[in-house]
Amino acid sequence: MKKIYIIVFAVFLFAINAQAQSFRFEVSAVSLSVKQGGNWSAFTPFKEAKIVATFNPEKNTIGVYSEIPQYFKIKKYYDRKSENGKDIDGFDCMDNNGEFCFIEIHSHQKENMHQLYITYSDRIMVYNMKYKK
């Protein structure tokens, strides 16, 4: 009987850990596009960056820990899309300044590379990143 309690307890702890998973990414580069006269500019060349980004579905948050940290509260989750060999997860968000934005995480499975797109009404930032455990 004692073994059954131990097994049930272990399964319970595993379930809590599995549910509380947060994803951590190492950002290597960032690029920017701005809207000018109703048109989007070409993206700037990628600039090297050594920062961390996180995605915590349990807390409904995304964080980008740059020189000026950016925090996003997820307001709505969209269904995952798959196109051109990548999976795309989309979110309606509000940043720490109260501004709404749309965020996408593009997962390129074959290259183990991800891109974080943060789209505001007047600018788009894209971060190249790799998943870290």
65-123, pLDDT tens digit by residue?
999 999 999 999 999 999 988 999 999 999 999 999 999 999 987 888 999 999 999 99
Tell me the pLDDT band of 20, cut-offs 50, 70 and 90.
Answer: low
The pLDDT value recorded for residue 21 is: 84
CB contact at 8 A, 71 and 99: no
The pLDDT value recorded for residue 111 is: 82
* HEC readout, 67-116: CCCEEEEEEEECCCEEECCEEEEEEEEEECCCCEEEEEEEEECCCCEEEE
pTM here? 0.82
3-12, pLDDT tens digit by residue?
433 333 333 3
- How do strand 61-65 and strand 113-119 relate by DSSP bridges? unpaired
Look at residue 9 and give its three-state secondary structure: helix
Place of tokens 């059954």: 4
Tell me the pLDDT band of 34, cut-offs 50, 70 and 90.
Answer: very high
CB contact at 8 A, 85 and 110: yes
